[in-house]
Amino acid sequence: MSIFISWLVLIISVACAIGIMRIINSVKKIERFSLMNNDTNKTSN
């Protein structure tokens, strides 16, 4: 039973790490898009 619980904790921790990495990557992409839009607006103005 303890082995099953340890495996469950390991799987949950890996899933959380993958989710956090995906969130960080999406935030970086959004920041890049906003920076690109700001640059284009500055050049157009």
Look at 38 and 13; give whichever has higher pLDDT. Answer: 13
What is the pTM assigned to this prediction? 0.57
pLDDT for position 45: 52
How far apart CA 18 and CA 1 sit, in angstroms, is 26
- Among 40, 37, 41, smallest CA distance to 29 is for 37
Percent share of the chain, pLDDT over 90: 56
pLDDT tens-digit profile of 23-38? 999 998 888 877 777 7
